[in-house]
Structure 1
Amino acid sequence: MTAGRLAGGRQRRDRPLAPGRKVRRYEGGRFVERIETVAGECATAMVYNGQDFAVLMTSPEHLEDFATGFTLAEGIVDHASEIEAVEIEDVVLGVEIRITIPAARMAALADRQRHVTAGTSCGMCGILSIERALRPLPTLPPAPPIPAPSIERALAALPATQTLNRQSGAVHAAAFATREGRVALVREDVGRHNALDKLTGAMARTGTAAEDGFLVLTSRCSTEMVQKAALAGFAVVVAISAPTTLAVELADAAGQALIGFARQGGFNIYTHEQRISAG
């Protein structure tokens, strides 16, 4: 198997860790500047014998290992020795992993209906091309800033609204909070993407407008969460865990304020800090 080669025979190295990013942190009732490291994320297209198969969001390290493990886990081949070549090509919007397998295996792959189950981390497993996975997002319009104390109030109130999580300890929540910090609508699911889809569906059914408040997520905030939030019209997204590099880039381009590490006592603002006020 040929692995770790770029087109033209160049050796590909894992991308370095993302450099520190300056963020504005709200803590103790005031804003301070600090440097945070943001986890890398890239759109990774799986291409077998020249045919698009799926796009997954991955960390950009050890992609040769990922190609082999994914191919085996999906039952595309039975043994790693059947993988004839792996080429990894950096493309404009992400990375293509080009995998060569025997013709018989490719024929079987083309015949079957694909059901990719890449855990609960992907959220884009039915998408076949990077262009579709990273479609342009709307530019969110200006709006009066959300007061930082409102975000703190919503974070404090959210646990009491998480009925399923109190019973099981195993589900995520997506919540709509008003500009005053009142948690007005909550949906829960074992999948963070599903929880957000449920919330936006409930908002559509009840006529609740995203611009009238902000989104709170009990999970990390990666690319697909930013995309879903922007398409729903949320100009402010608050996540209790960290964002990824690509999520930050997409939020910035869409005009969305992306907040991470939101806990009692403070939070980090990664993009569009003008959408958040001190009080």
Structure 2
Amino acid sequence: MARVMPAFWHEGHAGSRARIIPDEVAVAFTYNQSTHAVMMASPADLEDLAVGFSLNEAIVEHPGQIEEIRAVVLEDGIDLRIRLDADRAAGLIERRRHVAGPSGCGLCGIDSLAGAMRPPKTVGEGLRLTPDQVLVALDALGPHQIWGRESRAMHAAGWWHPDRGMALVREDVGRHNALDKLAGALVLGGLPAAEGVAVITSRVSIEMVQKVAMAGITVMIAVSAPTALAIRTAEAAGITLVAVARADGFEVFTGVRRIAGLDQS
């Protein structure tokens, strides 16, 4: 994070005031000495990002297939050097591609339509929530958005548990990065992903649903609307998709059976 002093004009008055702005750096994902993807990201929680991205993009099936992660700071960015075991390294050769994208490209390393449209992982039954619990989970994210509150330029992804509350939050300039970091933190922390809810601050696109499915989370709550493809993907994955969520209500696009009271409407 950095502090700047921009000039401003507000209601006929000019001046300057301090503002916190987020850092954004190029992060390369290098697997066994070959670059797979490059994206812009916030330079924090990089181990979570490396593990979450590797899992969500099906580069590895579990963290044990990652032998080492090193974040090397270079003049023009950060190189996440990830060493895979021999079997996973061999499997990556066929899909290896250098991709440079904007903040959180979401489909990095995908070089075919079939790869982009891969069938989502099917989630288990998971938990059932009341409408009040949905609103509690949504409300719980805000106080944990430390960077977002200061900069007004960060996305967040949180994991809310009925008994633990908002147990994990990760922030990033890229919405996909925030979700990858959350997935990585869940695995590294040994937390039961299916027993909680993913809460995100962004719109819901197909990649976001795919990542939630890969993490094994059964309910996702978003403040913005989903795309039509995201709805179809959530339906196929068995995910309960709650979106357009505000303090006064929300809409359930798929998996309404998990929301008590709505499943009979």
| 1:133 counterpart residue number | 116
Structure 2 stretches lacking a partner, 5+ long: 1-96
Question: Which amino acid is 2:159 matched to?
Answer: F
The reply on whether 1:243 has 2:250 as its aligned counterpart is no
| Superposition RMSD in Å | 2.0
Alignment of 1:102-141 (within 5 A): 114-117=98-101, 119-120=102-103, 122-141=105-124
In the alignment, the residues of structure 1 paired with residue 218 and residue 246 of structure 2 have an alpha-carbon distance, to the nearest angstrom, of 20
Q: What residue is the counterpart of 2:216 in the other structure?
A: 233
Q: Any stretches of 5+ residues in structure 1 without a counterpart?
A: 1-112
CA distance in 2: counterparts of 1:215 and 1:115, whole angstroms: 27
Deviations 1:22-71 (A, max 9, x none): xxxxxxxxxxxxxxxxxxxxxxxxxxxxxxxxxxxxxxxxxxxxxxxxxx
Contact 1:150 1:180 in 2 (8 A): no
Q: Is 1:274 paired with 2:230?
A: no
Decide whether the 8 Å contact of 1:147 with 1:179 is kept in 2.
no
CA deviation after TM superposition for structure 1 residue 120, in Å: 3.6
Considering only CA atoms, is the larger Rg found in Structure 1 or Structure 2?
A: 1
SS of alignment partner, residue 170 of structure 1: coil
Instruction: Give percent identity, aligned residues only.
Output: 45
Letter in 2 for 1:246: L
- Which of 174, 197, 222 does residue 191 from structure 1 map onto? 174
Distance 1:262 1:151, change over 3 A: same
Distance 1:190 1:266, change over 3 A: same
1:51-66 counterparts in 2 under 5 A? Answer: none
Counterpart mapping for 1:1-279 below 5 A: 114-117=98-101, 119-120=102-103, 122-180=105-163, 182-278=165-261
- Could you list the per-position Cα deviations for residues 213-241 of structure 1 after superposition, in whole angstroms to 9, with x for gaps in the alignment? 11000000100000000010011010000
Q: Give CA deviations for 1:94-143 in whole Å, capped at 9, x if unaligned.
A: xxxxxxxxxxxxxxxxxxx85432x3474114311011112122222223
The residue type paired with residue 129 of structure 1 is S
User: Paired residue for 1:30?
Assistant: none
Q: Residue type of the partner of 2:249?
A: G
Aligned-residue offset at 1:167: 1.4
Q: How many residues align?
A: 167
SS in 1 for 2:250: strand
- In the alignment, the residues of structure 2 paired with residue 225 and residue 143 of structure 1 have an alpha-carbon distance, to the nearest angstrom, of 18
Q: Distance in 1 between matches of 2:194 and 2:153?
A: 30
Whole-Å separation in 1 of the counterparts to 2:156 and 2:169: 7
Relative to the length of structure 2, the TM-score reads 0.59
Runs of 4+ in 1 over 2 A off after TM superposition: 113-117, 119-122
Partners in 1 of 2:165 and 2:154 — Cα distance?
21
Output the CA distance in 1 between the equivalents of 2:205 and 2:175.
10
Q: Structure 1 residue 147: deviation in Å?
A: 1.8
Q: CA deviation at 1:182?
A: 1.5
